[in-house]
Amino acid sequence: MRTLSSILFCFLVAYVFCETEITAGEPEGENFTYHFDWFDGGDNAIGLKRELYSDYDNFQFFYFCEKTKGENKKKCGAWVDEKGTIIKSVNNKLAYKGKEAVLSKVVKNDAGNYYSLFEDPKKESTRLPFRVSERNPSWPKP
């Protein structure tokens, strides 16, 4: 009986302390909303950083003009690479709306890990995996 109680106690402790990772997903053509308040310090975010599944070796950055200061202000309003060069292959828009950012009309290549971006380059939010699914032909067009 004592062994059973110990096992149940261990399972209870593991259950209480386990964490589930937040994930997001949208069908192609829909908008993806990134909620800054899902993560600690999200109110201080100045943009988004993403690591696309199709290009794991390179990060992309988007700085919100409304919140960015200093050197990053020159790069605001467009997806840029680590050197600050605008990425011309991105064909959707990202809009800052208070506590969220809305990426319009996602495509398969937008799938990846997304992070809040802060003025302090050492600070980073929790990773948010984002998936893009195929649109069911019977669904209405967005």
Show the domains of the chain with their CATH numbers.
24-133 (2.60.40.10)
Q: Which amino acid is at 69?
A: K
Residues 81-119 as b/e (b if ≥16 CB within 10 A, e otherwise) read eeeeeeeeebeeebebeeeebebeebeeebbbbbbbbbe
Identify which of 45, 80, 74, 44 has the alpha carbon closest to the alpha carbon of residue 62: 80
Across the strands, what pairs with 132? 26
Identify which of 137, 138, 111, 113 has the alpha carbon closest to the alpha carbon of residue 124: 113
Q: Give this prediction's pTM.
A: 0.75
CA distance 34 to 3: 46
Ranges of residues in the chain with a pLDDT under 70 are 1-25, 41, 135-142
- Residue 59: predicted pLDDT: 92
Structure tokens at 5: 């109680």
- Residue 38: predicted pLDDT: 75
Q: At CA 105, angle to CA 78 and CA 135, rounded to 5?
A: 150
- Residue 9: predicted pLDDT: 55
- Residue 14: predicted pLDDT: 47
CA distance 117 to 123: 8
CA distance 108 to 91: 12
